[in-house]
Amino acid sequence: MDVKNEYIDLNELINVIKKRWVEVILWTILGSLISLAISIFIISPKYSSSIDILVNQKNDNTAVQYNVQQADLQVINTYKDILTKPVVLTPVLQEIKKNDNYQGNLSTLSKSIKISNQANSQVITVNVTDDNAYVAADIANAVGKVFSKKIKKMMQVNNVTIVSNAKVNTTPVSPNKGKNVFLGAILGAFVGFMIIYFKELTDKTVKDNSFLTDNLGLTNIGSVYHLDISDNDYGVVKVVARNKISDNNDEELDIPRRRRV
């Protein structure tokens, strides 16, 4: 590809923006407003709540206790996996359907739960996201309660501690209005620029001599200007002359005009 052509294309893009920058700004504002409206009126807000669970095994022997902690860290992924299995979620689903009239199923419940754990930590965080802030807190607390009962029997773990219960958080975690407005502005500016640039490319109107010389390779040999002449006055030019004797007396002379060939 010719470097010169690339430079001309870039220069053309800059000229289009300079010439029609107002339209680009309007499209940017329009994109922001549409994104804000979608975030407020269309996307349902989501609320989040979390519970922290500590799983460990007690031992009176200090040396053995260290080995037990290391063993707990090794099986932490197993604990995280159990938290999202039907053995825990089925009783949770039954409880929240009864207490909160939850309308979801086991699959919906599983998708709303995220399990996380810091490196070398025995604390597991269960984060629940739902359309209702109170339901989200109830689900998280129910998961912690059911897990505490099940894990003792399944893994022979003698100490499960709820570090912090889930609390109701009425501040939505999504949608992120600021982020959506920013992305909408970028998308609006891009769409606006593409539209006006497409109009420029498809506009074949001759606006100046450069279009003929640069685009069509023609030679400019002169210019003919437009004369706005009405049909009634065609062939006659009206000239108003001043009378030399009196400035107040004007004489109108009809001077024949050369007709077109």
* 185/183 Cα distance (integer angstroms): 5
Question: Taking a C-beta distance cutoff of 8 angstroms, is the pair 112, 130 a contact?
Answer: yes
More confident residue, 128 or 231: 128
Containing domain of residue 193, as a range?
3-42+175-202
Is 234 a member of any domain? yes
End-to-end CA, the chain: 50
DSSP type of residue 260: P
| Calpha distance 167→134 (Å, rounded) | 8
Higher per-residue confidence, 207 vs 261: 207
| Angle of CA points 103, 104, 106, to nearest 5° | 140
DSSP-derived 3-state class of residue 176: coil
| 149 in the same domain as 127 | yes
Residues 90, 34 share a domain:
no
Any domain includes 209: no
From residue 222, alpha-carbon distances to 125, 209, 210 in Å are 81, 10, 13
Residue 208 lies in a domain: no
For residues 246 and 190, membership in a common domain is answered with: no
Q: Which two tokens stand for residue 32?
A: 């922001």
Mark whether 16 and 92 lie in a shared domain: no
Per-residue pLDDT at 168: 95
Q: Which two tokens stand for residue 70?
A: 């290391």
Q: How many folded domains does the chain comprise?
A: 3
Q: Is the pLDDT of residue 78 over 80?
A: yes
pTM of the predicted model over 0.95:
no
Q: Which of 127, 131, 130 is nearest to 166 (CA)?
A: 127
Under the banding of pLDDT at 50, 70 and 90, the label for residue 8 is very low
Q: What pLDDT score was predicted for residue 90?
A: 95
User: If 0-12 CB within 10 Å is exposed, 13-18 middle and 19+ buried, where does residue 148 land?
Assistant: middle
Q: pLDDT band for position 17 (50/70/90)?
A: confident
- 51 and 160 belong to one structural domain: yes
Residue 52 CB contacts under 8 Å (≥ 6 apart), including other chains: 123, 124, 125, 126, 162, 163, 164
CA atoms within 13 A on the CB side of 30: 12
- Claim to verify: residue 194 and residue 139 sit in the same structural domain: no
- pLDDT tens track for 227-260: 555 555 555 544 444 444 444 554 444 444 444 4
For residue 170, being part of any structural domain is answered with no
How many other C-beta atoms are found inside a 10 Å radius of the C-beta of residue 260? 7
Q: Label residue 18 exposed, middle or buried (CB < 10 Å: 0-12, 13-18, 19+).
A: exposed
- Tokens coding 188: 């609006």
The secondary element (H helix, E strand) that includes residue 92 is: helix 86-100
